[in-house]
Amino acid sequence: MLARQRQAYILERVREDGGVRVADLVRELGVSDMTIRRDLEFLHDRGLIEKVHGGAAAVPGSALFEPGFAAKSALQRAEKEAIAEAAAGLVQPGTAIGISAGTTTHAIARRLIDVIALTVVTNSVPVADVFHDAGRSDQTIILTGGVRTPSNALVGPFAVAALRSVHLDLVFLGVHGMDPLAGFTSPNLLEAETDRALIEAGRRLVVVADHTKWGLVGLSSIAQLDQADVLITDASLEPAAREALSSHIAEVLVVEPRQEFGHANATEGRQVSDASSTNVPSATLSDGRAGGRSRWRGPRLVADAMTPSVGGSVRGPGVGDMPARDGERQRSAGSDRMFEA
């Protein structure tokens, strides 16, 4: 194997797994320890990887870095599960939804396999696998074509063409980063283009992003912050970031990852009901209406709390009153809903 072939292999491993050990590369490539170390030195000098003790890791903060699906799945698991539970509560039976690629959106998909008569359009191979493995005859799953990325997204002209021919009630979008100026971003140009087509196909956009995405800027912008109708994030997001997001996005839902199953942890003075007598987590939701805080139980608490009631607006699956995308959005600036899941 030529040096450039070894180096390409090493780069792919780092992108997929977030890092790699010298001992593993020696075994997989059948070369000496010294040869691998020279390859790592070559890649490090060009800023493509970061050398660490015993191996190599991805370069932190790079606008081009895109970790693989397996590597991302191991990060912020509790936060993603809480975000996914809240997001799934926005979906009603019999609707058509879009789900982008990503580990948070994959967690959402796992919570939607029991939703009756659901139609799902996705460019994510793992998301499609979730529904395929469930084998429900009343659900329709559409997987776009396209070129596969390290995050198992299908992107490019085939994916974009497929998305331009569909019309969806709700779109769930996972992102690489979110920033006040750059908006929602991706390190992959083709994936950003595909995500833009997915957004255009939907009447409402729900962005799901844990607190670590704040301040990250990928190579390509997907959408500006105010294009999202709802953002679901976790309680570790700094107050200044919440305020910045709430000034652009109509609904910012902040979830508290559960500390243990069946009992939610009270923080920041919020009321949390004791769920010891039931096998679902309890939650509180600040809805900004008269009467202050309300208590809700179960994973569908967001949908229950935000069912639209004003005539003439688009009635989506559990999302608050919002007009169609081509009209003027009805906003409650600064709304910052918080519950514990």
Whether the model clears a pTM of 0.85, i.e. scores above it, the answer is no
Q: Is residue 89 within 8 Å of residue 303, measured between CB atoms?
A: yes
Domains 3-60 and 70-341 share a fold: no
Where do the domains of the chain lie? 3-60, 70-341
The answer to whether 209 and 176 have CB atoms below 8 angstroms apart is no
Quick one: CATH architecture of 3-60?
Orthogonal Bundle (1.10)
Give residue-wise pLDDT tens across range 174-233. 998 999 999 999 888 889 999 999 999 999 999 999 998 999 888 889 999 999 999 999
- Name 180's Cβ contacts closer than 8 Å, sequence gap at least 6: 225, 244, 248
Greater pLDDT, 273 or 97: 97
Q: What's the topology of domain 70-341?
A: Rossmann fold (3.40.50)
pLDDT tens per residue, range 228-263: 999 999 999 999 999 999 999 999 999 998 765 333
Enter the tokens of residue 303: 């949908």
What's the pLDDT tens digit per position in 128-140? 999 999 999 999 9
Whether the predicted pLDDT of 270 surpasses 60: no
Taking each helix axis from N to C terminus, what angle separates 33-45 and 22-29, rounded to the nearest 10 degrees? Answer: 120
pLDDT tens-digit series, residues 4-54: 888 878 877 776 667 788 999 999 889 999 999 999 998 888 777 888 888
Structure tokens at 140: 């329709």
Integer Cα distance of 236 and 233 in angstroms: 9
pLDDT (0 to 100) of residue 315: 32
The confidence score (pLDDT) of residue 44 equals 84
- Residue 62 pLDDT more than 80? no
191: tokens are: 């994936």
